[in-house]
Amino acid sequence: MVLDRIFSTLIGYCFGMILCGYILGRIKKVDLTKVGSGNVGTTNTLRNLGVSAGAITLLVDCLKCVFAVAVVWFVMGFRHEDPSIFMVYAGLGTVLGHDFPVYLRFKGGKGIASTLGFIIALFPFAVPIPAVIFISVVALTRYVSLGSILGILSFGIEITLFGMLGRLEYTGTQLYEVYAIVWFIVIVAISLHHANIKRLINGNENKFSFHPETRK
């Protein structure tokens, strides 16, 4: 069972390392690791490569988690009557692969879009609240980082509450595994925003704009 969890995580990690923003940047001869925030996620892609590239990156970063979960569901379905916990590990691996890709010396994105894919694939009922919080915060403040932090934090709280109320399909030790994985993803995402948090406190965080900022 432990090996199946590790295997599922590795499958997800391989999917996670498909960094669409980085690939699009290379096609356009822009190394996203050397411009803007140095991040290869959606926000830095949008700022430096434009709206179309940002939208494509968001879509791919979401879908790669969905595909990883689907692959593990198919593979583990032959070995286990209920492969749902292994699908959660696949989602974890995807986020880790996105955040810490080995071929970029473990410096990838911040995991927000891939976590959205994680939520869509595994906990679709939990999408509305983080989405509303993210959209509302960004609309009011124009700070994507603040919206991302509060949105993903609300996801962790939401899953914990649903679990305590018995609304999740996981029981026993698997439920605690889900708690651990979800909160690990939340904490990692927030920690990867440490520079943004510092800028928010200092009042000099970059505000959201649809216009490319190739020199930031």
Q: Could you report the per-residue pLDDT of 176-186, keeping only the tens digit for each?
A: 999 999 999 99
Who has greater pLDDT, 27 or 208?
27
Q: pLDDT digits over 3-30, tens only?
A: 999 999 999 999 999 999 999 999 999 9
Who has greater pLDDT, 1 or 102?
102
Q: Which amino acid is at 44?
A: N
Output the pLDDT for position 210: 62
* Angle CA 192–197–198, to nearest 5: 115
d(CA 192, CA 106): 12
Q: Write the DSSP assignment of 191-205 as a string of letters.
A: HTTHHHHHHHHHT-P
d(CA 28, CA 78): 42
If DSSP codes are grouped into helix, strand and coil, which group holds residue 32? Answer: helix
Q: Are 64 and 18 in contact (CB under 8 A)?
A: yes
pTM: 0.93
pLDDT greater than 90 at residue 1:
no
d(CA 202, CA 82): 49
- Buried b vs exposed e over 43-56: b needs ≥16 C-beta within 10 Å? bbbbbbbbeebbeb
